[in-house]
């Protein structure tokens, strides 16, 4: 085995152990994240930032959807344009969630000063240090997390450009896990009974 193969294997094992200890699962595909969280009994709420008017905002800025309050902050303030939410400077974008959520995801990518999409390395870090790194080239690129233990209270997003020029961490949509309404829970229960009857 080559030294490089050994190093890659050691890194992979470390990442698996760290993820197991933290009880966080990182998922880079939106359809899979949606399926995973709904199969665990959650509904999905979406913050599409359409209620945030275009322009500059001092930091922090808060909003809410389906009982989840998000607060965004960044050094130098925040900026919104056409349903996209970003930083006013090419710095880290931080979100906190109240109450914490079991799952969070988003369409996260990099833009230039005029909100034009630029290829970027996106690093998302949760409060406990769990990180996900992806190369984003599209406004539909997705990154999501699910916690099998403690709720997710915050996440930080950094965007690093692969060329010249400043890159701004930008979010199009944020998705949260929320508890289904009582009627939806009853329907889930009936569906479970029906499925159990079919298996007999």
Alpha-carbon span 25 to 20, nearest angstrom: 8
Say yes or no to pLDDT of 194 above 80.
Answer: no
Average pLDDT along the chain: 84
Average pLDDT rounded to a whole number, residues 144-165: 93
| Contact present, 44 and 176 (Cβ < 8 Å) | yes
> Domain spans of the chain?
24-199
- Highest mean pLDDT, choosing among 16-25, 82-91, 175-184: 82-91
pLDDT beyond 50 at 185: no
pLDDT band at 183 (very low <50, low <70, confident <90, very high): low
| Percent of the chain topping pLDDT 70 | 80
pTM above 0.85, yes or no: no
Q: 3-class DSSP state for residue 186?
A: helix
The answer on pLDDT for 200 being more than 80 is no
Q: Which CATH class is domain 24-199?
A: mainly beta
User: Rounded CA gap, 94 and 60, in Å?
Assistant: 9
> What is the distance between the alpha carbons of residues 84 and 90, in angstroms, rounded to a whole number?
15
């Amino acid at each position: 085995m080559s030294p490089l193969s050994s190093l890659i294997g050691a890194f992979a094992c470390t990442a698996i152990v760290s993820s197991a200890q933290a009880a966080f699962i990182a998922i880079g595909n939106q359809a899979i994240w949606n399926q995973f969280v709904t199969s665990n009994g959650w509904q999905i709420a979406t913050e599409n930032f359409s209620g945030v008017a275009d322009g500059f905002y001092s930091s922090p800025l808060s909003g809410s959807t389906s009982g989840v309050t998000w607060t965004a902050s960044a050094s130098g303030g925040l900026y919104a344009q056409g349903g996209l939410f970003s930083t006013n400077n090419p710095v880290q974008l931080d979100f906190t969630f109240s109450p914490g959520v079991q799952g969070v995801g988003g369409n996260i990518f990099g833009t230039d000063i005029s909100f034009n999409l630029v290829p970027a390395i996106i690093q998302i870090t949760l409060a406990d240090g769990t990180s996900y790194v992806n190369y984003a080239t599209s406004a539909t690129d997705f990154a999501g997390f699910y916690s099998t233990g403690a709720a997710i209270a915050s996440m930080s997003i950094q965007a690093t450009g692969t060329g010249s020029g400043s890159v701004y961490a930008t979010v199009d949509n944020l998705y949260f896990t929320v508890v289904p309404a009582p009627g939806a829970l009853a329907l889930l229960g009936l569906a479970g009974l029906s499925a159990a009857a079919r298996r007999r």
